[in-house]
Structure 1
Amino acid sequence: MDKKINAFLKVMDATDNSTGGGSASSIAGAMAAGLAGMVARLSMGKKDLAPTEHYEAIATQAETLCRKLFDGGSKDSEAFAVVSAAFGMPKGTDEEKMARSRAIKDGMTRCAEVPLQNATLCSEVLIMCARLEKSYNTTTASDLECARHLAGAGLKGCAANVRVNLPYLKDDLLVRNLESKLEAILNSGGE
């Protein structure tokens, strides 16, 4: 958990250039999932609300999404580190140039795919929030609203990070595939 906490703190460190918007967006989604889970837990057993099993399922899903999104923030930082390292590779010989070019391509692909995965998870958090809005403990209304806002910001931030990396990919088919997947996520009803 300390590694995850450190990744979270790096997002808040204005002097760190390795952890950016993709990580911050993923962590926003993780916080949203955590809040949604809390709302579900605080709704269990309340009179005139859905059965406890409904909230238990949401709380379990929230815990899974929180963990995956928190990990996704670390993966986003790691993808950036891969690209940074690739640009620092030697390029004196033809073999070195080819290896460097391949490493940059692989790294840039990862820099687009990781936030796409995180966008999917943020969309799932938004859908989970919508499920909760139908029946929940209204004393947690502000928590649920915060979860929705954080998940929406996470989704938009992840989408921005996918889009910013697409021009660096030299594979038109891959770009179209990633764009198509992103549009499907954005149109899935999560936002």
Structure 2
Amino acid sequence: MDYKEIFDLILDENNFTVGGGSSSAIAGAMGCGLMGMVVNLSKSKDYGYSDKEYDDMLEELNDLKTKLLKGSVEDNKAYLLIRDAYKLPKSTEEEKEARKKAIQNAGIEAAKVPLSNAMLNKRVNEIGMSLLDKSNPACITDLQAGIDFSKVGIDAGRANVEANLPLIKDQNIVDDFNSKIENL
């Protein structure tokens, strides 16, 4: 599955396998695209950065966009791990223990992916904020939309991490995730 298929599933109200985590990654990728456009429309003018600095930003935004689009697919895979873990048999004590472990491991993965996507979105936001006074003013609404998309990516990513923490019974792991989301 690729990000285009993920996007189609996001738009399908009858699909229950793709949600906020994948959406937050795609929102960040959209922010990268908008900011990249602003960067391209700011080059060769005197808005505060050199063309080299704008090119470096553009390269980083394209890298972030690629990672976020991949992150949208990875988030879906993580959700499917949870779904499959809950489907495991639980008739014997051994099966119950295996299922419990599988749910926790899936919960860890399902918290890692949106955390990574949220951190990527945080960087997208930082780039956008650095462009506010150093880019083509005719593009301010595009830039603001990109910044807003990155904020959605941060907030929804954080919410997805928090939603998966109850699946994790190891308090040290939960505490580690909580300290990381505080930095968002």
**TM-score after normalising by structure 2:** 0.95
Aligned-residue offset at 1:156: 0.5
**Residue 172 in structure 1 maps to residue 171 in structure 2:** yes
**Residue 111 in structure 1 maps to residue 110 in structure 2:** yes
Q: Which residue of 1 is the match for residue 120 of structure 2?
A: 121
Q: Which residue of 1 is the match for residue 89 of structure 2?
A: 90
Per-residue CA shift, 1:83-116, capped at 9, x if unaligned?
Answer: 1011111223333223222211110111111111
Aligned-residue offset at 1:36: 1.0
CA contact (8 A) 2:43 2:50 kept: yes
What are the within-5 Å matches in structure 2 for residues 1-191 of structure 1? 3-184=2-183, 186=184
Identity, % of aligned positions: 35
CA contact (8 A) 1:43 1:49 kept: no
State how far apart, in whole Å, the 2-side matches of 1:41 and 1:116 are. Answer: 29
Q: Which residue of 2 is the match for residue 189 of structure 1?
A: none
For structure 2, which runs of at least 5 residues remain unmatched after alignment? none
Distance 1:17 1:144, change over 3 A: same
Aligned AA for 2:53? H
For structure 1, which runs of at least 5 residues remain unmatched after alignment? 187-191
Aligned-residue offset at 1:146: 0.2
Moved over 3 A (4+): none
Per-residue CA shift, 1:96-145, capped at 9, x if unaligned?
Answer: 22322221111011111111111100100000101111311111111100
Distance 1:48 1:118, change over 3 A: closer
The alignment yields a C-alpha RMSD, in angstroms, of: 1.3
CA contact (8 A) 2:28 2:149 kept: yes
State how far apart, in whole Å, the 1-side matches of 2:121 and 2:25 are. Answer: 8
- How many aligned positions are there? 184
